[in-house]
């Protein structure tokens, strides 16, 4: 019979943890990496089974896009370009008496354009003025080479220097184009042809205006309210602005970190990174909406809301289409009287049913605000019908909303802007139609 085990003086059992910890550490070192690998494989497997295989490239693109959209309202065609603060400074919106707002850079460019109109060249010149929103703005740059090439191949353009004058601005919508054209004519600037490339902003932003109680004839309310609102220096507005800047900075830091650390290599981390970045983006957009609301509260109803015409606010998309049609008539009237050929093109957009077979890449990039979506779905058929009416009256109208209908490759950078390839395709069509319009 063995002697009873001697208890320590305070009566506790002997501490054996000293002998157990190496085993515990070893176990942790084996179990956790195994769990991570299994989890990773499991998630990839499950996604593959459901036909939604994980793609690290798609995650990197999504993060890059969220980062780009966080920086600029209008995405650049080369999404991987570094942010240029000087360029952004030029894109700042300032008040303009006849078009509501203008980019600071646009005011400066107009000076160059006026000088260009005054100079007499030894070559014959053909100046094509392009009006519209950001799609037209991008088209004037990305479609320029194709326009020059196709026009240059025509005998009428032999020895002619083709100049593209971009008057498209982010967020512009009718009646801003008509007002811009009238202003340019009043300044004595008369181009050789006018192209109006529009449609999306009219219906999408018109619908959004209505949500904020602003008439469809007024400029896009997030653009306009910043300039006329008086409450920007009020504490409530600054607090929200601080929140916007805070989440923007957070999103910038997070996406940079996630891309630098290659989180996309892991399905779990990649998914998490995209979700977190998207949540931050959502937060920014919500705060932006709140900011607009606060500014609205401080401003005169009439200055922000525009005319309160019975029925128009209830049917904002229909009203926007009617304005689009009437404003185009005015542009045509001004051009015709001056013998300036006028071509009106309805721009294509991703969420217009039948516009394009949507590529999975475009599904991810093309997330759209619900107001915009409703505007497009309701508005595009109406725009097509109104365009047909304009055409019957004698307007040179081109319905380019189906121009990508047979293009399977991804073209869109978001819900409405397309990249270089899309602009080239559109430029070919527009140049061909332009040749029909020119004498």
Partner 1 sequence: MSAEHAPISRGRRWFERWVFWPLALLLVALALELGFRAQRIVAGRPYLDAKAAWRVDQLADENEKLSTSRTAPAADSSSDSMFAHPYLGFVRRDFARGLTRAIEAMRARPDVVHVVVVGGQAAHAFVTSATEALSTELARRADRQGRRVVIWNLADAQYKAPQQLELVSYLTALGARPDVVIDISGRNEIQIGGANALMDTHPVYPARTNWEALVRRGAVDRTSLDLLVEVWNTSSEIESLVARMRSGWVHCGLWAEGAIERLEKLALDRDLALASFQRRAEASQRQIVLRGPTPPSETQTITNVCVSVWYQATFDLSSVCAARDIEFVSVIEPFGAGGRRDEASNGRRSEAKLTTGRRGLVQAATQLTKRGVTCIDAAALAPEPLSPRDTALAVATEIGRVLRKD
Asked if 315 interacts with partner 1 (CB under 8 A), we say no
CB closer to partner 1 out of 163 and 332:
332
Residue 346 as a binder of partner 1 (CB under 8 A): the answer is no
> Using an 8 Å Cβ cutoff, are 273 and 198 in contact?
no
Region 273-302 residues binding partner 1, contact defined as CB under 8 A: 298-300, 302
Name the 3-class secondary structure at 405: coil
Binding residue for partner 1, selected from 19, 118, 158, 310, defined by CB under 8 A? 310
Going along 152-231, which residue ranges are E strands? Answer: 160-166, 193-198
Which residue is listed with tokens 């000087």?
Answer: 86
Select the residue interacting with partner 1 from 9, 22, 354, 439 (CB under 8 A). Answer: 9
178 binds partner 1 (CB under 8 A): yes
CB closer to partner 1 out of 1 and 337: 337
In order, the DSSP letters of 110-137 are: HHHHHHHHHPPPSSEEEEEEEEESHHHH
| 100 in contact with partner 1 (CB under 8 A) | yes
For partner 1, give the closer residue by CB, 261 or 301: 301
Q: Which of residues 209-268 bind partner 1 (CB under 8 A)?
A: 217-219, 224, 226-235, 238-239, 241-242, 245
What is the pattern of x (binds partner 1, CB under 8 A) and - over residues 130-169?
----------------------------------------
Q: Is 108 in the site for partner 1 (CB under 8 A)?
A: yes
The C-alpha atoms of residue 422 and residue 412 are separated, in whole angstroms, by: 8
Please provide residue 46's backbone torsions phi and psi, each rounded to the nearest 5 degrees.
-60, -45
The one segment of 39-47, 56-64, 105-113, 408-416 that binds partner 1 by CB under 8 A: 105-113
* CB neighbours of residue 20 within 10 Å: 10
Strands 124-132 and 160-166: parallel
Indicate the pairing of strand 193-198 with strand 100-103: unpaired
**Under the criterion CB under 8 A, does residue 171 sit at the interface with partner 1?**
no
Tokens of 98: 């006849």
309 binds partner 1 (CB under 8 A): yes
Q: How far is the CB of 395 from partner 1 (least distance, A)?
A: 11
C-alpha torsion sign, points 429, 341, 398, 369: positive
* Backbone dihedral angles phi then psi of residue 412, each to the nearest 5 degrees: -85, 140
Three-class DSSP category at 424: helix
Please say which residue, 134 or 178, places its beta carbon nearer to partner 1: 178
Q: Which of 30, 333, 363, 388 binds partner 1 (CB under 8 A)?
A: 333
- Is residue 10 within the footprint of partner 1 (CB under 8 A)? yes
| 314 counts as binding partner 1 under rule CB under 8 A | no
């Amino acid at each position: 019979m063995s002697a009873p085990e001697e208890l320590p003086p305070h009566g506790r059992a002997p501490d054996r943890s000293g002998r157990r910890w190496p085993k515990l550490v070893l176990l942790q070192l084996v179990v956790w990496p195994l769990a991570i690998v299994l989890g990773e494989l499991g998630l990839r497997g499950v996604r593959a089974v459901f036909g939604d295989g994980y793609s690290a490239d798609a995650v990197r693109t999504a993060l890059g896009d969220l980062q780009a959209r966080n920086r600029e309202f209008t995405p650049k065609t080369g999404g991987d370009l570094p942010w240029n603060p000087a360029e952004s400074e030029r894109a700042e919106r300032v008040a303009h008496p006849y078009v509501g707002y203008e980019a600071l850079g646009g005011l400066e460019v107009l000076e160059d354009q006026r000088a260009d109109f005054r100079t007499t060249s030894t070559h014959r010149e053909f100046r094509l003025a392009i009006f519209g929103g950001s799609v037209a703005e991008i088209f004037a740059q990305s479609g320029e080479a194709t326009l020059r090439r196709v026009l240059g191949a025509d005998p009428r353009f032999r020895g002619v220097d083709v100049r593209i004058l971009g008057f498209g601005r982010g967020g512009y919508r009718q009646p801003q184009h008509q007002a811009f054209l009238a202003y340019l004519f009043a300044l004595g600037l008369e181009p050789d042809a006018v192209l109006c490339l529009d449609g999306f902003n009219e219906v999408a932003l018109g619908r959004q205006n209505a949500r904020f109680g602003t008439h469809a004839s007024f400029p896009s309310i997030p653009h306009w309210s910043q300039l006329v609102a008086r409450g920007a220096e009020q504490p409530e507005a600054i607090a929200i602005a601080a929140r916007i800047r805070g989440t923007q900075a957070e999103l910038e830091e997070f996406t940079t970190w996630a891309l630098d650390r290659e989180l996309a290599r892991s399905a779990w981390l990649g998914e998490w990174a995209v979700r977190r970045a998207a949540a931050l983006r959502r937060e920014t957009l919500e705060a932006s909406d709140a900011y607009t609301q606060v500014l609205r509260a401080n401003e005169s109803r009439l200055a922000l809301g525009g005319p309160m015409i019975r029925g128009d606010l209830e049917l904002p998309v229909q009203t926007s289409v009617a304005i689009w049609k009437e404003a185009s008539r005015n542009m045509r009237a001004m051009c015709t009287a001056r013998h300036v050929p006028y071509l009106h093109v309805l721009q294509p957009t991703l969420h217009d049913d039948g516009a394009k077979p949507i590529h999975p890449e475009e599904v991810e990039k093309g997330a759209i605000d619900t107001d915009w979506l409703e505007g497009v779905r309701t508005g595009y058929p109406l725009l097509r019908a109104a365009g047909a009416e304009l055409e019957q009256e004698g307007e040179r109208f081109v319905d380019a909303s189906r121009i990508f209908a047979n293009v399977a490759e991804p073209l869109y950078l978001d819900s409405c802007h397309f990249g270089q390839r899309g602009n080239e395709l559109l430029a070919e069509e527009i140049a061909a139609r332009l040749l029909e319009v020119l004498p």
